[in-house]
Amino acid sequence: MYGTAFPVTDEVLSNEFVLPIGKAKIEREGSHITLVAHSRAVMVALEAATALAGEGVECEVINLRSLRPLDEETIVQSVIKTHNLVTVEQGWPQSGVGSEICARIVESPAFHYLDSPVIRVTGVDVPMPYAKSLEVACIPQQHDVVKAVKKVLKLIK
């Protein structure tokens, strides 16, 4: 993400600004489904949310910002609100951040609010290739997130 410009507020430009560690940021409000992501996957989740909004699906996108400590409360409150969850990450599926989020949701009051099973959108479980075309095929893209959201919401099988 080097060289990528992001919009910032005047508050962030202040010398006194400190990013709160352990506090996720809701990047986009939504009511149908929660998308939880970190790092580059946040951009993919936001792109998918924009595409889905055109189809009438409002996604709440949560940027974790830190993984340890993990802001479980923000995720739980969002799932209670939307009743659905998709996690998005570029890492492998086994032992990933999405797996931890799923486990915490199962162990929280939010589990009883879920209308569908949680889906994890992850990188493919293969060694990361060097070729750019293969690398793109191995990490989640916007269409992967859109498909997962539609599956959770039972818009497709």
How far is Cα of residue 150 from the mean position of the Cα atoms in its chain?
A: 15
Judged by average pLDDT, the poorest of 1-5, 6-10, 103-107 is: 1-5
What 3-state class would DSSP assign to 35? strand
Cα 134 from Cα 30, distance rounded (Å)? 33
Rounded to an integer, what distance in angstroms lies between the CA atom of residue 54 and that of residue 120?
Answer: 23
Question: In this predicted structure, what is the pLDDT of residue 107?
Answer: 97
Is 5's pLDDT higher than 90?
A: no
User: What are the CA-CA distances from residue 11 to residues 4, 15, 16, 29, 46 (Å)?
Assistant: 20, 9, 8, 21, 23
Can you give the pLDDT at residue 112?
A: 98
CB 50 within 8 A of CB 35: no
pLDDT at 70: 97
Cα angle, residue 102 at apex, residues 72 and 51 outer, rounded to 5°: 90
pLDDT tens digits for range 116-157: 999 999 999 999 999 999 999 999 999 999 999 999 999 998
The rounded distance, in Å, linking the Cα atoms of 53 and 138 is: 26
The pLDDT tens digits for 47-102 are 999 999 999 999 999 999 999 999 999 999 999 999 999 999 999 999 999 999 99
Residue 3 banded pLDDT, cuts 50, 70, 90: confident
pLDDT of residue 139: 96
Structural domains of the chain ordered from first start: 22-153 (3.40.50.920)
pLDDT of residue 75: 98
pLDDT digits (tens, 9 = 90+) for 10-48: 888 889 999 889 999 999 999 999 999 999 999 999 999
d(C-alpha 96, C-alpha 98), whole Å: 5
